[in-house]
Chain A
């Protein structure tokens, strides 16, 4: 059963990735006037300043380089070529503006985005799970009602609004954190304390504002814990005289966290997606900012490439979560069906 489940999940992940790449191909085709026309306009507007003219054949060649699409071939040939270059050569095309491949641009930026999203996820979810559990244990107390309002309030604050406020209070009014960038100027790169410190300082505000995204979980956790607290088996556990710590972690905690699993999965995609907005506010040069800059100049290959990579990262993250989930909840791996 275990192997079957594993195969099914991996198969699904591959299928999903395949679907996404197909989707980007379809999007290229749906561009106003087709990919060739869209890119031709881009190239022409880029060439405006310089005097050298460009022949249609050259444009054709450029379009093919940039997007892996041979625009005069029949659609199905284009599709096969596009898919094979993405899957077999890991080639996502060339950036229209920098002299670099989309793959290398993304590879350079991705670790920085991962840094802030992973920390934001960890901080956001840890805080909200602990907070939610404490709120549930002290249900109807003053602590519960006050923190409920605070959490609802924080949850109503869009992360970009939180970001703006953080910049205002921590960077402009009090210069504790820098307003943007990922490392300070003149900091020597390498494995030294100053460099690490600079990275942490620059990442702190983006991480904080993104972790606001996960805070809604506190209320879900509170609701789940309260529900579990009302169950009969908990009373049985109490009557059996089990230690409180054991009841809290093994009975309440575990059963309250499990239903949040789906939410957590979607959270992975959500945090990564939001990096476009957060990174632009903090001018933090990660993948999000790359996407933002690509939109400004209609750099389609970079846009599509980032969509593919975003999806790939999400798929891998969810796959890992999915496969490890079997260890936490035996019901999932044995049954093989997740309802």
Chain B
């Protein structure tokens, strides 16, 4: 997996030690790129979950960018009503009860989905990292106590009902706002875990060494702690995204979120309310949105799993005790 890695590093380390010249910026960037992008990518290539997950996510990104541009926005009456799937190349996935091609609807729902996921992931991960790192590093202080009490309170308030009440009162239509609302109930659990991660990183000997050497807290946070947390944050953004997709589609499906935008949940709602379950000619109308959510979520879960096995050296190295301690890309 990373057999060449230690040798490479050893060599550059050795060189730098001899001539004591500052490494040029370009080389430093190259080395960082190698360390943070190429090395994980190389490891990821050996894990099928990471490959499949990345492929599925890429497909959805393409759908939301190029797809929207290639396929026209569907309007009712584009095509015959309830055309079965895989018959006509113009609407491969068939059409719905209004004669709108289902494939085009699925594609045009993607950009707003990404907006929601983006807003939600930024809010939940951002809050979690901020609160977790801060209170982990100020362990035992008043700020830590206050932050953790707030976290404990919000962790207990059931998120979905709260979000539902907020939605019922304010009726948000903007995907970013919906994303933020859904992200709000996600961060406390993460913040706690980030905190305990920070606590254990703090105990590591190299952080202690940095502290003794008099390196400022900010630098330690940035260089040692945040770098260690990155894999964790990556894995969790994927999971947070999945959760936001689940919840937003669920709420659109129930008709709790106002139908202001095209969404897989809205399609499911229309199909389900039209009794698609007991009408064979409507099966595809319900089935394709279901399949889309499943695929997207499957991709995200696989991606997070794959990344976990890439980053988590302990998981990877259980049976291979020959790998030495700093053989992994991140540790």
Residues of A within 8 A of B (CB): 12-13, 15-16, 19-20, 23, 27, 30-32, 38, 152-153, 155-158, 160-161, 164-165, 167-168, 172, 219, 223, 226-227, 229-230, 262, 265-266, 269-270, 272-274, 276-277, 280, 291-292, 295, 298, 300, 303-304, 306-307, 310-311, 314-315, 318, 339
Contact = CB atoms under 8 A, between A and B. Distances in A.
Contacts, number: 130
Given A172-B278, A262-B192, A273 B159 contact: yes
A123 B230 CA distance: 34
The 5 A-B pairs with the shortest beta carbon distances in the complex, nearest first, are A273-B160, A156-B298, A156-B297, A230-B318, A273-B158
B165 A226 contact: no
A153 B277 contact: no
Interface of B: 49, 149, 152-153, 155-162, 164-166, 168-170, 189, 192-193, 195-196, 199, 242, 246, 249-251, 253-254, 256, 272, 277-278, 286, 290, 293-294, 297-298, 300-302, 305, 308, 314-315, 318
Contacts of B153: 15-16, 19
5 contacts: A158-B249, A158-B293, A160-B253, A269-B156, A307-B161
Contacts of B300: 156
Contacts of A314: 156-158
Q: Give the dominant DSSP class at A's interface.
A: helix
A27 B166 contact: yes
A158 B192 contact: no
A303 B314 CA distance: 46
Contacts of A262: 189, 192-193
Given A27-B166, A30-B169, A229-B318, 17 more contacts: A12-B152, A16-B157, A27-B169, A152-B49, A156-B300, A156-B301, A158-B246, A158-B297, A164-B272, A165-B290, A168-B277, A262-B193, A276-B160, A276-B161, A277-B250, A311-B157, A314-B156
A27 B161 CA distance: 13
Contact of A152 (B170, B246, B254, B305): B305
Contacts of B318: 226-227, 229-230
